[in-house]
Amino acid sequence: MAIDYRCFFCFAKSFEKLLESENMSVESKSRFTSEMATLYRDVWNQYSSPEFARELHIMLKQYADNPDPYKKAKKIYNDLVLKIYPDLKNQVETSDHPFDTALRLAIAGNIIDYAASNDFDLHATMDKVLHSDFAIDHSEQLKKAIDHAGTILYLGDNAGEIVFDRLFIETFNHPNVVYAVRGAPVINDVTAFDAEYVGMGDVARIISNGYDAPSTILEHCSPEFLYAFKSAEVVISKGQGNLEGLLEISDPRIYSLLMVKCDVIAEKLNVKKGDFVVNQNHL
């Protein structure tokens, strides 16, 4: 998916907030902004949005001399959701439909996305997704696929959200789940450290995808990840970033779970911004 012009303005807003949080001079912030605009001019018709985001975060790390600008924010949200995890687990276990409840909570967790916005209401989103219809609903197909799969690959997205993923994986209780994380810190996306921190290793085998884009871009992923991807019978893709990397692949093994956060993706899926989606690729 090539960069849509609207993506640039979204990046500009998010990086404005990020630059303000970094201890950088006004001159450095201005130089970074100039380079951001130049990069967009040079690659807008060559890069996807996640590839552009990767390049911007490499630049930011260099300017700010900070290898993980979202490290504190990731810990805050991992801790926040871990704190409510016992209540969430009880909610799932006492539900009439545990799989559906855990799936919906996993999608609610997708709101924790600093690339889209750092102004969100997690509890309101949880309540909304529990009482809303999915704009695209292939959840029954997903459940049947999980029940019959020998191996499942689960593509992680954001810190904090990963606690909801853990709960979902515990709920469908499959013996062979591989959980994939980013190859290095980018935005508030999950790394191996984050996954281990929330106990993901207790319910899945954690691997890196070998690349530091906020997405899954197969041509850049590691051999270990590509083997896991090719051999999996079900691929659960969390979030908008992973969707952007995989949406144009015709592969019915892939199920994307997300909250739609922008008009660009809404148009691609023929839904509305803010909708909740369980989408089987090219069903």
What percent of the chain lies above the pLDDT cut of 90? 86
152's CB contacts (< 8 A; 6+ apart) are 146, 174, 176, 177, 178, 232, 233, 234, 235, 236
What's the pLDDT band for 114 if we cut at 50, 70, 90? low
Give all strands of the β-sheet with 152-155 in edge-to-edge order. 136-137, 276-280, 254-259, 234-238, 152-155, 177-181, 205-208
- Helix (H) / strand (E) element for 170: namely helix 161-172
Q: Are residues 25 and 122 in the same domain?
A: no
Pull the structure tokens for residue 142: 């997903």
Q: Are residues 58 and 115 in the same domain?
A: no
21's CB contacts (< 8 A; 6+ apart) are 69
pLDDT(47) > 80: yes
Per-residue pLDDT tens digits for 194-238: 999 999 999 999 999 999 999 999 999 999 999 999 999 999 999
CATH number at residue 142: 3.40.50.10880
Residues 280 and 141 sit within 8 Å (Cβ to Cβ): yes
- What pLDDT does 115 receive? 56
Per-residue pLDDT tens digits for 126-168: 999 999 999 999 999 999 999 999 999 999 999 999 999 999 9
Pull the structure tokens for residue 24: 């950088």
- Picking from 279, 221, 122, 44, the residue whose alpha carbon sits closest to that of residue 269 is 279
pLDDT(113) > 90: no
Spell out the alpha helix ranges (H) of 44-70.
49-64
Q: Kindly report the pTM of this predicted structure.
A: 0.94
Residue spans of beta strands (DSSP E) within the chain: 136-137, 152-155, 177-181, 205-208, 234-238, 254-259, 276-280
Last residue of a domain, one of 42, 64, 86: 64
Q: Are residues 60 and 81 in the same domain?
A: no
- Picking from 163, 161, 144, 162, the residue whose alpha carbon sits closest to that of residue 152 is 144
For residue 86, the enclosing domain spans: 71-280
Please count the structural domains in the chain: 2
